[in-house]
Structure 1
Amino acid sequence: MKLSARNTMKGTIKDIILGQVNAEVILELPGGEVITSIISKDAAEALGLTKGKTAYAIIKASAVVLGTDD
């Protein structure tokens, strides 16, 4: 797989929460960090996502927003 996105992280699907339209997919990275992604339910089914399956978080963003508590 070749992508233009520079931020690709491999992990294991920890949980999938299916809604009527969307799916919340929780991906655990090797260091224990967790990434949560909201995708369409149709996409989750088409990808065959299941708990324990290896998947990739691919992040392509033109802006990163930061905030502080101040």
Structure 2
Amino acid sequence: MKLSARNQLKGTVCEINSGSVNDVVKIKLASGDVISATITKQSAEELGLELGKEAYAVIKASSVIVAVD
């Protein structure tokens, strides 16, 4: 599979919090950092996500907003 997104972070699924419609999936990177993503429950099932499975966090954004108080 080829993607246009350049931010592809490989890691391991370390936590899945299932809701009625969406799941929050956490992927632990080699650095120890954790990326969290909210995806549909159906997508999580189709991807076969489970604890310990290798996965990628793919980030595609046209802008990043930074704010301070």
**Cα separation, 2, equivalents of 1:4 and 1:38:** 21
**Cα separation, 2, equivalents of 1:11 and 1:66:** 26
Q: Which 4+ stretches in 1 moved above 3 angstroms? A: none
1:46 CA displacement: 0.5
Aligned residue for 1:55?
Answer: 55
Q: What is the Cα-based RMSD across aligned positions, in Å? A: 0.7
1:29 and 2:29 correspond? yes
Aligned residue for 2:66?
Answer: 66
Aligned residue for 1:11?
Answer: 11
Q: So what's the TM-score if we normalise by structure 2?
A: 0.96
Taking only the aligned residue pairs, the percentage that are identical comes to 54
1:46 and 2:46 correspond? yes
Aligned residues: 69
Q: So what's the TM-score if we normalise by structure 1?
A: 0.95
CA offset digits 1:2-30 (Å, max 9, x no partner): 11001000000001011000000010000
Partner amino acid, structure 2, of 1:46: E
Which 5+ residue runs of structure 2 have no aligned equivalent?
A: none
